[in-house]
Structure 1
Amino acid sequence: MNATHIDERARETEIEAIEQVIATLEHAQQHELPGEFVGLFRSDAIWTTGHGRRLTGRDEISAFTHRVLPGAMRDSTSDYEVVHVLFIRPDVAAVKVRQRAVTLDGHPIEGQNEGSPLYVMAKEDGRWLLVACQNTEVLDG
């Protein structure tokens, strides 16, 4: 089945499931839950952090996340909004996200650059997983 042949109801259902993964990612980041965060990745995933560090495989992603996430949200956090989903195939999607720095009570922080992550996700055994991820900071200008 070609991605252009996904019926509208099925497409909306899949987008809702993808949005739930991004909401779980947001929750894990905001509450500094590395186990919950790492559980969103396929075992062979690749992730490039916002500072350009390439991490390959869930074990490497886990080690990095367990080292940097605890304590990272003591002053501020981020919120995530899915802004575009491109189905490459019915079980593979490129997901563009808007990431904004917010205070701990959820108010936007002025003067902070936004992030523009791209997450390639695959649906396996009925579950959407992060497979290839690139976090990118949006610079003014």
Structure 2
Amino acid sequence: MKDVKQVVLDSDRLQNDPDGFAALLTEDVNLVNIAGRRLHGRETVRAAYHQAMSSQLAQVRTRIEIEDAWLVQPDAAVVTATKHVSDERTEPNAPLPDKGAVTFVLARQDQKWLIASVQTTPIK
């Protein structure tokens, strides 16, 4: 499970690198962020991250703390984690929760693990 967890940790490390982050995703990825925005498809996610990095959202930092990881099938894995959010924007237009429960679904394609789905739900 080390390689599966590493993809999740890489996604956290690459949160401010839209192209690097997109390289970790399946072509038809589904992503729901902590603010409830739903995105479908690698290129849609890449474009949204580029847009975010040119806005105040570039000042929002997150940190992933992996809770558990397991194989569902030989080529499918689930990772559950807690996302810690640090909103450093000077004038946020909408406050963000400071913590979320995040679930990643990963698929092995061409011997490489990629994120197929990620859902973040605010928690207290």
SS of the residue corresponding to residue 50 of structure 1 reads coil
Task: Extract unaligned runs of 5+ from structure 2.
Answer: 89-96
Say whether 1:131 aligns with 2:116.
yes
Aligned residues: 115
Alpha carbons 2:52, 2:58 under 8 Å: kept: no
Q: By percentage of residues, which structure has more strand? A: 2
Alignment of 1:1-141 (within 5 A): 15-29=1-15, 32-70=16-54, 72-74=57-59, 77-102=61-86, 113-138=98-123, 140=124
SS of the residue corresponding to residue 115 of structure 1 reads strand
- How does the TM-score come out when normalised to structure 2? 0.82
Alpha carbons 2:86, 2:98 under 8 Å: kept: no
The ranges of structure 1 where at least 4 consecutive aligned residues each deviate by more than 6 angstroms after the TM superposition are none
Matches of 1:103 and 1:132, distance apart in 2: 24
Task: Extract unaligned runs of 5+ from structure 1.
Answer: 1-14, 105-111
Q: CA-atom RMSD, angstroms?
A: 1.9
Identity value in percent:
24
